[in-house]
Chains A and B, each alone.
Chain A
Amino acid sequence: MNSFADQLLVLVMLINLLMLGSSRLLFSIRAVAVQGVILGILPGLVHTFSWHLAMITVSIIFAKGFVIPYFINDAVHKAHIRREVEPFIGYVPTLLLGSVCTALAFVFAEKLPLAPEHRDLLFVPASIATLLSGFLLLTTRKKAISQVIGYLVLENGIFIFGLLLTDAMPVMVEAGALLDLLVGVFVMGIVINHITREFASIDTSRLQALKEE
């Protein structure tokens, strides 16, 4: 089963690169939703069946695959924008940076003192690569929505690492973390709507009234 999990993780990393190279917001939102669904399936592949697991799977797919993308989609529609224009760094350079980061993630993961049974799996490199892609999205894009997507990708990267340790994270904590993420994105969506109304744009580079003189 683990080879299937590895294939899914490769897919996750490909989605990272797709998002880094795309300017269309709706596409990125769908991509992050697909990534969320894949992450929901993964725990089922690496652990034996239990009700605890089934519950986690369902709630993750529901939250990351449907509810959160719905919130962001809503904000996009209200903002009447379709594309990220003029990011701080262009798409091709970020895409290249993303690929370099992914490659480095593999090199780095080799060097980590992992438990022997985790050595041959793609979890750790995929986690680091996704994390770094999230950071790239967060720092290079100007639109508030792209930044939220970057935050979600970052969170997904952390989640992949967490898959190695589902025993340590009791159900209640996991549910709490997911709920926090959900509410967090919900609040971000509301704030984005207000930014749209107030600034007639969701360009975060316009948010610069507050600084030291």
Chain B
Amino acid sequence: MLLALVLLPLLGAFISWVIPDNRIRPLVLPVVATIHLIVTLLLLGNAPPPSAGGWIWLDPLGKIVLLCISLLFTVCAYYAVGYLAYRQDRPNRVLCMCLQVCLFAMSMVTITQHLGLLWVVVETTTVSMAPLIYFNKNSRSIEATWKYLLICSVGIALALLGLLFLAYSTYVAHHDATLLLSSLIQLAPTLNSGWLHAATIFMLVGYGSKMGLAPLHSWKPDAYGEAPGLVGALLAGGLVNCALLAIVRVYQICLASGTEIVFLQKALIGMGLVSMAFAAVFMAKQADFKRMLAYSSVEHVGIMAIGLGLGKGALLGALFHLLNNGLTKGVLFLSSGNIHRSYSNKTTDVVKGALTRLPWSGGLFLAGFIAITGSPPFSPFISEYTIVSNAFIEGRYTVAALFIIFLVIVFIGMALTVLPMVMGAPPTDLEQTSYRDQLLTVAPPCVMMVVILVLGVWPPEALMLLLREGAHMLGVQP
């Protein structure tokens, strides 16, 4: 089953490479994605025990990320068919192949327990996404791709150095050098603290830059702004969560070491608050709505980092938010892609009255905005509320106060961009484009919006159990 999970996307990538026809090729995506989702759901029910010498195991933390990735990818895959039908002018072989290679790498991230292998597949996601950002092949998208590729590659290289430090800390402590998560957790209390500390810093910086935590987020607005909406959705909901999972693995080791966790939690809270502050500042008066979504992503990785940093009850919120943020970002990026296509512009000077011009996409964008800013009844409200209420319970009043203040500023800033975009009347001198809302480009994000609503109103018991299991692995007493 686990094998199917990773081999299927690779097979799909190969098939898309073989198919010569630009129209038929995208159909591979939904087929692969649907089977992937079914396999994922089956695996969530009963995951096999650790195999391959402990290298492969789908633990509860991996399950949460896998669920988010698989759901998001399925939605994006159906959307891709509709989207690529509009973009028949561009060859889509590379796009289809890279999407599936990326799905392979992301699935692998969730099931591996070997930190070396984890690093390799995280790097694979980075490289496989680069050609996708560059899909539009103009000077702006080249610039974005270059920045993304260079900053993320260097960041990931630093994470590798951190990984080597971690292995060296076992070596100095006279154990066999290892990078298996379970052995590292077992050995953690005896590891050399200096090397462990260095390892934590480097991995936090490395995976943090991949995740887009401020001040390492500089590539994010450019890449998200220039990539097609569908790629933006996968970047914000898939790659971010993979990097987060890598940091969670570091967290597990630090937690087991007993001492290092204090530093890591402080660093996560610090970086989280800085991320939210950056987002709050740059989101106000942001004229480019895709860049605005990028800053929103910076804000939400900040929220998750704070949740991890606070520990205890907030962890539950952080893990739930991982899922909520991924799905909501999916809705926002896909609907913003539709709006972009229809107006062939992504600045708020031109884009006005989207609700009139594109009732479905405009409405979804508005609903996504309401959800992502943490308004009930959508699920991000629950996760953000869990984090902030636990901050108060733990007596972290400054963190909680700053958290709320930044959320409010972000809400106002985002509303100033989103409301004029969707409300009012569209400008009359608008260029005519061929894009109209269609089943395949509207239904997928619509389904996702319903999922977010359901998670907010009536979260399934099985999911809550999974989240509690995940939080338990991060040191929360059940």
A residues with CB within 8 A of B = 112-115, 131, 138, 144, 147, 151, 154-155, 158, 161-162, 164-165, 167-170, 172-173, 176-177, 180, 183-184, 187-188, 190-191, 194-195, 198-199, 204, 207-210, 212-213
Most buried by A among B121, B124, B127: B127
Question: CA–CA, A114 to B168, complex, Å?
Answer: 9
CB-CB contacts below 8 Å: B178-233 with A: 178-179, 192, 194-195, 221-222, 225-226
Binds A, one of B138-146, B263-271, B310-318, B435-443: B138-146
Closest A residue to B165 using CB positions: A161
* Tally of chain B residues near chain A (CB < 8 A): 49
Binds A, one of B57-65, B150-158, B458-466: B150-158
Q: Are B134 and A167 in contact (CB under 8 A)?
A: no
CB-CB contacts below 8 Å: B110-163 with A: 114, 116-117, 119-121, 123-124, 126-127, 130-131, 134, 137-140, 142-147, 149-150, 153-154, 157, 160-161
Interface pairs (7), CB distance under 8 Å: A158-B161, A158-B164, A187-B131, A187-B149, A195-B142, A207-B146, A207-B147
Q: Are B127 and A184 in contact (CB under 8 A)?
A: yes
For B86, the chain A residues whose CB sits under 8 A away are none
Most buried by A among B140, B154, B176: B154
Given A165-B168, A172-B117, residue A184 in contact with residue B153 (CB < 8 A): yes
Most buried by A among B140, B167, B222: B167
For A131, the chain B residues whose CB sits under 8 A away are 161
For B287, the chain A residues whose CB sits under 8 A away are 213
Q: Are B171 and A169 in contact (CB under 8 A)?
A: no
Q: Is the interface of B mostly helix, strand, loop or mixed?
A: helix
Q: Are B146 and A114 in contact (CB under 8 A)?
A: no
Question: CA–CA, A184 to B128, complex, Å?
Answer: 9
Q: Is B172 an interface residue (CB 8 A)?
A: yes
Question: CA–CA, A167 to B116, complex, Å?
Answer: 12
For A173, the chain B residues whose CB sits under 8 A away are 114, 116-117, 119-120, 179
Q: Are A138 and B131 in contact (CB under 8 A)?
A: no
Closest A residue to B143 using CB positions: A207
CB distance from A38 to the nearest CB of B (A): 19
Q: Are A177 and B123 in contact (CB under 8 A)?
A: yes
Q: Are A113 and B145 in contact (CB under 8 A)?
A: no
Closest B residue to A148 using CB positions: B150
